[in-house]
Amino acid sequence: MKKIFFVLFLLFVHFMNSSAQHNIGSIHLNSAPEPISAALGSIGVATDPNETGHFWNPAKIALLGLNYGGALSYSPAQIGKTVYGSLFKQIDDDVVIGLGLNYYSLGSINLRDHIGTTTGIQNPNEFGVDIALSKKFGVDFAVGTTVRYIKSDMFDVENAANIRSAGATAIDVGIFKKHRIGYNILNIGVMLSNMGTKLNYDAGTSKFLPTSLKAGLNYQIGQLDRFNIGLEVSKLLVATSATSQTSVISAMFSSLNEGFKNCAIGIGTEYVLLNQLMLRSGLNIQNNGLITRKQASFGIGLIKDAIRINASYHIPLDAQPMNNKFKFSLGMMF
């Protein structure tokens, strides 16, 4: 049987197997693909709407109050590169549409047989492409939904030389509310993400999408110079005991009986100076029932006219490997 003698890839697979559910695919759809929210402890369901679009909550883009914009984000990790692009366009005073692409690749993997002879190169990857519709009701309340198609071409668990393919569809549903308290603002956001069909791979293997329920608060103090502090909790709605024969709805309801297993909490702070410079920090803690992962994050943002540049850096606070990641984005809003 063919084997992969690529050290970084083996370490990555070992880490993923020890920290993720085996019955879930396309887990990258549940990870921060852009540096703004990534720097804030991977929170975004209740943070202010920005150029990175509708990934965190499709309802938010209706409250941007701008004609159009978008951003391109890139994460040049040691292995597991991510590219995320988003666009939004205002249709009328109350309705905004958004487009998104979330691409994840393990890069080119050299395959060798048991005696070390090169047998080929594989490029395992996944992507999700989506369209969002957001509508505001009044000045400070909006709802939104996203329809997504997911394509996965990943390695066979039993025979790593083979790539297996699968496709799935999913929806997100979100609400977003601003509550004004004098000169300060409290944001409230809730989203159900990646609720859809299973990933049915070749040869009968199927996996669940990373369906999640997220709720968050963000409190803004000040206006031109301002300080934001946000809190978000999320729950993965896929039971660890779910099998390929378990329905999506059953797996969701069964996950509610698992308590705090597969829950995450994120805390983020942001200082905005003259609406031009943003300094960010955050902490994210995840518990999958086997291990608890802790990650600190830092970031910076710059605004010059319509152009927006952001970067973030992530530091593991435990022994988990391959967690250090930079993220960069370039965006524009008009």
pLDDT tens over the chain, length 334 residues:
444 434 444 444 444 444 456 789 898 899 999 999 999 999 999 999 999 889 999 999 999 999 999 999 999 876 678 999 999 999 999 999 999 999 999 887 776 666 766 766 778 899 999 999 999 999 999 999 999 999 998 865 455 556 788 999 999 999 999 999 999 999 999 999 999 999 998 766 889 999 999 999 999 999 889 999 999 999 999 998 888 889 999 999 999 888 888 999 999 999 999 999 999 999 999 987 767 889 999 999 999 999 999 999 999 888 666 555 899 999 999 9
pLDDT of residue 107: 80
Question: How many CA within 13 A on the CB side of residue 70?
Answer: 13
Question: Widest CA span of the chain, in angstroms?
Answer: 71
Question: How many CA within 13 A on the CB side of residue 216?
Answer: 35
Count other C-beta atoms under 10 Å from residue 276's C-beta. Answer: 12
Q: What angle do CA 312, 177, 34 make, to 5 degrees?
A: 15
- Write out the H or E segment, with its range, that includes residue 18: helix 7-19
Q: Identify which of 258, 188, 252, 232 has the alpha carbon closest to the alpha carbon of residue 48.
A: 188
pLDDT of residue 1: 41
DSSP 255: H
Q: Identify which of 116, 202, 197 has the alpha carbon closest to the alpha carbon of residue 155.
A: 202
In whole angstroms, give the CA distance from residue 238 to residue 241.
Answer: 9
Q: Which two structure tokens, joined as six digits, stand for 259?
A: 């308590």
pLDDT of residue 113: 62
In whole angstroms, give the CA distance from residue 251 to residue 36.
Answer: 32
In whole angstroms, give the CA distance from residue 120 to residue 264.
Answer: 39
- Write out the H or E segment, with its range, that includes residue 10: helix 7-19
Q: Is 316 exposed, middle or buried (0-12, 13-18, 19+ CB in 10 A)?
A: middle
pLDDT of residue 53: 80
- Write out the H or E segment, with its range, that includes residue 37: helix 35-39
Kindly report the pTM of this predicted structure.
0.89
Q: Which two structure tokens, joined as six digits, stand for 29?
A: 């759809």
Q: What angle do CA 188, 97, 92 make, to 5 degrees?
A: 95
pLDDT of residue 4: 40
- Selected from 2.40.160.60, 1.10.10.10, 3.30.70.2740, 1.10.520.10, the CATH number assigned to the domain covering 7-333 reads 2.40.160.60
Q: Identify which of 322, 241, 246 has the alpha carbon closest to the alpha carbon of residue 289.
A: 241
pLDDT of residue 250: 93
pLDDT of residue 156: 58
